[in-house]
Structures are given as C-alpha cells and as structure tokens.
C-alpha cells in the first residue's frame, strides 16, 4: 500500500448476484453473511461469508416475499421473516428434520420489525410494541418465550459482539433503550437521550437509524451518533458524538469527533479506530479516542491524519462457486 493511502479493501471480496426483480439481497451483520434469495428461495438461496467455509447454497419453498433472513451462530438454524406477524425456521443441524416451523409474535396487533440471534438457539423478535426473547428447540420444532418487554419502538440496532439491542423510543425517536442478552437472560440497561441539533415542533421522528451505530472500542461499548450540520443550530459542520454505554450505570456522552465538513457519511471500525467515510470527496477520516485529555468529561477529537481516499481496487471477474444442497 502506497503512502498516499491509509486504508485498503480485502484482496478476497465476497461476490454475489446483484439485486433485481427476481433476486433479493440481504446482509447479516452478526455473521457477516450475504444472502442472495432468488424467487423467494424456490430457485435457490446462496449464502456467502468472509471465508469459503461459511458458503452454502440451498432451496426452500416460495411462501411469499422474504423480508429478512439470517442464520443462527454456526449456521445451525435458519430464520426467515415473510410477514409482519411471524418468523419461520428451518433446521440445518445434521440428522434433524428440515421441515419448516413457525412462531408468531405474542403481542396482539404488533408488527415484527425484525429479529436478532443472540445465541445458536436464542432469538429476539423486535416489534413496534416491544421485544420478545425466545429459546428455540430444533428437535421439537418449537419455541419457548423466555421474557418480553412492552415498549413503543420506532427502529432498532444490534451489536453482535456484546449482544446488546438498542431500541429507539418516543415520538422524536431520540430516547434509546438498550437491552443486554447473555446465557438465556435479558437485562434492561439504563435508557438515555440523544441531544438533537434541532427539536421539531410539532414533535416528529427526528433520529434516524442511519445516523446511529454501535461499536466496541478498546473493550468498551459505545453508541455513535452522526450529528449532521444544522443552519438553525449554528453548527458549521457535522460531527460524530460517542456515548459510552456501560453494562451497569448511566450512559454518558464522552467523545466528539469533528468532521470539519458536511454531506453524507458512513462509519466503520478498524483496529479500535473510528473511520468516517465522506461520500462527495471520496475520502476517509481516522480518529483515535485514546488520544484524549486527562480528567476531561467530554473529549473533542480532530482526525489523527489528513483525509485520504481508500486504495483503489479492481474487481476480478471470475467468482468461486459454492456447493448446492436442497432443503425440503
């Protein structure tokens, strides 16, 4: 890598069929898997991950449009959401029956926004009226409700490294309620409020899931808020505000990353460094929150290096094939 670039892409990209009228594409952040679902699965589902061992292909009955699809940890059980009321399951454990089984959400008149696997046999349904935590019994083809919590939900985020789900609540969406999951238990963590640059009147949903991310940085969980430039708030440029979210105790605003520009951004983590990608300039900024002032409640950070673009990468045309299997 030349001195003109700090970042480069993997030399072994995950290649998949592009989204189209017959092919839907999904990404599972927890397992880092891309799902290409053709014709609702009837003509094939191809799953690819960062390495060849996680690649798998199969067919399933077309029972309607797939809204969400994810494997549990270790590719043991497949969960598929096709409606706003239920989630379907298929066993991929050897010698277990492949017949689908279904679980409807328990809350009456609720709509399932999505689901998260927190263990190989534990799953959380997130609805617009709360969350439902289940244990899956693949041998019995059934689920058991372990715990549930009623709360109005706008949208959610999941951090697989810490098994923490973040729910956006209230009309403006800026009150966030986290829940932690571990070994069959669900713990309600301290809720906190994101400071909005402008408070709308009348109140309306003002915090988007696109502007929130969770990440583990130097062993600690942070909620990152991409705070956009606002003329009325007299803030000349965008910034990323980091809230430290401990397992116990209050969540506190702890770091502010100054982007010194406006526009569209994307966030990701590389080796405990926060990388902010700026779309229009096609450059990336790198921040290190460990470089801070001692005994300072909220630390303000500038990029540690000048903005640079990612090292150019040319995609190879040939792709590796995966072995196909059929699921009845």
| Domain spans of the chain, in order of start | 1-153, 154-319
User: Cα separation of 15 and 318, whole Å?
Assistant: 9
Query: Taking Cα atoms as reference points, which of 99, 285, 243, 90 lies closest to residue 159?
Result: 243
Q: Give the number of other CB atoms < 10 A from CB of residue 266.
A: 13
Confidence at residue 327, expressed as pLDDT on a 0 to 100 scale: 45
Structure tokens at 219: 């062993």
Confidence at residue 226, expressed as pLDDT on a 0 to 100 scale: 96
Confidence at residue 315, expressed as pLDDT on a 0 to 100 scale: 75
Class of domain 1-153: mainly beta
Confidence at residue 325, expressed as pLDDT on a 0 to 100 scale: 44
Q: Are strands 299-301 and 130-137 parallel, antiparallel or unpaired?
A: unpaired
User: Cα separation of 303 and 308, whole Å?
Assistant: 11
Query: Taking Cα atoms as reference points, which of 144, 150, 143, 160 lies closest to residue 126?
Result: 150
Question: Cβ(156)–Cβ(168) under 8 Å?
Answer: yes
User: Cα separation of 266 and 224, whole Å?
Assistant: 11
3-class secondary-structure state, position 190: coil
Tell me if the bond preceding 46 is cis, omega within 30° of 0: no
Structure tokens at 28: 């599972």
Which residue ranges in the chain fall short of pLDDT 70?
Answer: 1-3, 231-235, 316-328
3-class secondary-structure state, position 65: coil
Q: Give the number of other CB atoms < 10 A from CB of residue 279.
A: 10
Confidence at residue 235, expressed as pLDDT on a 0 to 100 scale: 62
User: Cα separation of 15 and 7, whole Å?
Assistant: 20
Confidence at residue 111, expressed as pLDDT on a 0 to 100 scale: 98
User: Cα separation of 312 and 327, whole Å?
Assistant: 40
Confidence at residue 317, expressed as pLDDT on a 0 to 100 scale: 66
Structure tokens at 228: 């956009």
Q: What is the value of pTM for the model shown?
A: 0.90
User: Cα separation of 236 and 47, whole Å?
Assistant: 44
The Cα angle at residue 116 between residues 50 and 70, in degrees rounded to 5: 45
Confidence at residue 297, expressed as pLDDT on a 0 to 100 scale: 87
Burial class of residue 216 (count of CB atoms within 10 Å of its CB; 0-12, 13-18, 19+) = middle
User: Cα separation of 51 and 27, whole Å?
Assistant: 15
Question: Cβ(59)–Cβ(42) under 8 Å?
Answer: yes
């Amino acid at each position: 890598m030349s001195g003109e670039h700090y970042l480069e892409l993997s030399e072994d990209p995950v290649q998949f069929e592009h989204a189209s009228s017959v092919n839907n594409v999904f990404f599972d952040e927890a397992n880092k898997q891309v799902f290409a679902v053709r014709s609702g699965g009837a003509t094939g589902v191809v799953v690819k991950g960062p390495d060849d061992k996680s690649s798998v292909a199969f067919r399933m009955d077309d029972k309607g449009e797939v809204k969400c699809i994810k494997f549990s940890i270790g590719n043991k059980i497949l969960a598929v959401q096709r409606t706003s009321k239920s989630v379907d399951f298929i066993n991929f454990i050897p010698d277990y029956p492949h017949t689908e089984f279904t679980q409807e959400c328990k809350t009456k008149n609720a709509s399932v926004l999505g689901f998260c696997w927190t263990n190989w046999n534990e799953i959380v349904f997130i609805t617009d009226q709360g969350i439902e935590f289940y244990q899956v019994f693949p041998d019995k083809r059934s689920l058991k409700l372990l715990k549930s919590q009623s709360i109005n939900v706008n949208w959610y985020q999941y951090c697989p490294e810490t098994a923490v789900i973040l729910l956006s609540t209230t009309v403006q969406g800026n009150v966030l309620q986290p829940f932690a999951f571990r070994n069959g238990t669900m713990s309600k963590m301290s809720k906190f409020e994101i400071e909005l640059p402008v408070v709308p009147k009348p109140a309306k949903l003002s915090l988007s899931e696109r502007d929130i991310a969770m990440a583990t940085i130097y062993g600690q969980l942070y909620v990152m808020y991409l705070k956009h430039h606002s003329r009325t708030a007299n803030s000349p440029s965008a910034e990323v505000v980091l809230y430290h979210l401990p397992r116990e105790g209050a969540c506190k605003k702890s770091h502010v990353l100054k982007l010194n520009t406006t526009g569209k951004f994307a966030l990701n983590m590389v080796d405990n460094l926060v990388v902010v990608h700026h779309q229009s300039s096609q450059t990336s900024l790198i921040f290190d929150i460990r470089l801070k002032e001692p005994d300072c409640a909220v630390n303000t950070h500038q990029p540690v290096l000048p903005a640079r673009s990612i090292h150019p990468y040319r995609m190879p045309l040939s792709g590796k094939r995966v072995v196909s299997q059929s699921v009845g």
